[in-house]
């Protein structure tokens, strides 16, 4: 069974631009969560999607948004990029709720904002 | 919200020794506690997990213990090998009681196994 995939793997953007990241979960997994990983803040939860609905949201500004499609693939968008948004963005997939279920991470998208 | 503290931040052991990493959580509603291993430049990899209805779980050289009363859980690695060198993260989740699959992570432990 193929693992979680994320595209693109690397991105370089300029302050003020926007970016869209994509995540394809493991086949059969219907829940997708997003996390931001930075050296200073560690791993922080962004949001979780199931059945095309956001189930949970972390403490990030409204510039961070996401969505999920009917095939469970998910995208996250960051608008008006700031230097502090430079991070590794990880998505994790798991089985449908109710959980808790094991979460399996993708390889991440390394975003650099200049 | 949930807060997870993890200690130590760095741990150096000799090959063959045991390593123990400890975490405490704040929210008594948390009921699922996974551990992830992240090698440099790689994705976090789930290595073991424990649910609140279990006190201990073991998988070969890795074991996790949970003390719900004290709200702490620990990862034990025996007979460490150089390939165990990585950053280890603990996490907590409330699962069905609230919070869905949201994981709150500890700050990580850099484990170095020396020859």
Q: What is the pLDDT of residues A42-71, one digit of tens each?
A: 999 999 999 999 988 999 999 999 999 999
> Residue B52's closest chain A neighbor by CA?
A100
Structure confidence at residue B74 (pLDDT):
98
Position A113 pLDDT exceeds 90:
yes
Question: Is A101 close to B89, i.e. CB distance below 8 A?
Answer: no
Task: Assess contact for B65 and B76: CB atoms under 8 A.
Answer: yes
Position B99 pLDDT exceeds 90:
no
Position B98 pLDDT exceeds 90:
no
Confidence of residue A16 (pLDDT cuts 50, 70, 90): very high
Q: Tell me the per-residue pLDDT of B45-72, one tens digit each, with 9 for 90 and over.
A: 999 999 988 899 999 999 999 999 999 9
Q: Which residues contact B86 (CB under 8 A, 6 or more apart)?
A: B37, B38, B39, B40, B110, B111
* A58 contact B CB<8A: yes
Q: Tell me the per-residue pLDDT of B31-46, one tens digit each, with 9 for 90 and over.
A: 999 999 999 999 999 9
Q: Tell me the per-residue pLDDT of A66-80, one tens digit each, with 9 for 90 and over.
A: 999 999 999 999 999
**Half-sphere exposure for B79 (CA within 13 Å, toward CB):** 3
Task: Assess contact for B95 and A99: CB atoms under 8 A.
Answer: yes
How confident is the model over A95-114, as a mean pLDDT?
92
Residue found by looking up tokens 């970016």 in the block = A19
Give kind and range of the element (H or E) at residue B60: none
Which residues on chain B are in Cβ contact (under 8 Å) with A35? 103
Position A98 pLDDT exceeds 80:
no
Distance CA A75, CA A60 (A): 16
Mean pLDDT of chain B: 94
């Amino acid at each position: 069974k193929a693992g979680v995939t994320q595209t693109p793997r690397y991105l370089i953007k300029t302050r003020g631009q926007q970016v869209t990241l994509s995540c394809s979960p493991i086949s059969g997994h219907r829940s997708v969560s997003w996390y931001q990983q930075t050296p200073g803040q560690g791993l922080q939860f962004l949001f979780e999607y199931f059945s095309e609905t956001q189930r949970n949201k972390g403490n990030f500004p409204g510039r961070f948004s996401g969505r999920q499609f009917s095939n469970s693939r998910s995208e996250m968008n960051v608008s008006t990029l700031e230097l502090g948004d430079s991070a590794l963005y990880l998505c994790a997939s798991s089985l449908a709720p109710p959980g808790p279920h094991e979460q399996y991470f993708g390889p991440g998208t390394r975003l650099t904002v200049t | 919200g949930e807060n997870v503290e993890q200690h130590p931040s760095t741990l150096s052991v000799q090959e063959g020794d045991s390593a123990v990493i400890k975490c405490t959580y704040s929210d008594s509603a948390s009921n699922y506690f996974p551990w992830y291993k992240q090698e440099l430049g790689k994705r976090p990899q789930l290595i073991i997990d424990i649910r609140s209805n279990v006190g201990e779980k073991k998988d070969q050289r890795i074991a996790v213990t949970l003390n719900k009363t004290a709200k702490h859980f620990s990862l034990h690695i025996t007979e460490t090998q150089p390939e165990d060198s990585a950053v280890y993260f603990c996490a907590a989740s409330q699962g069905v009681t609230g919070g869905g699959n949201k994981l709150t992570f500890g700050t990580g432990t850099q484990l170095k196994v020396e020859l």
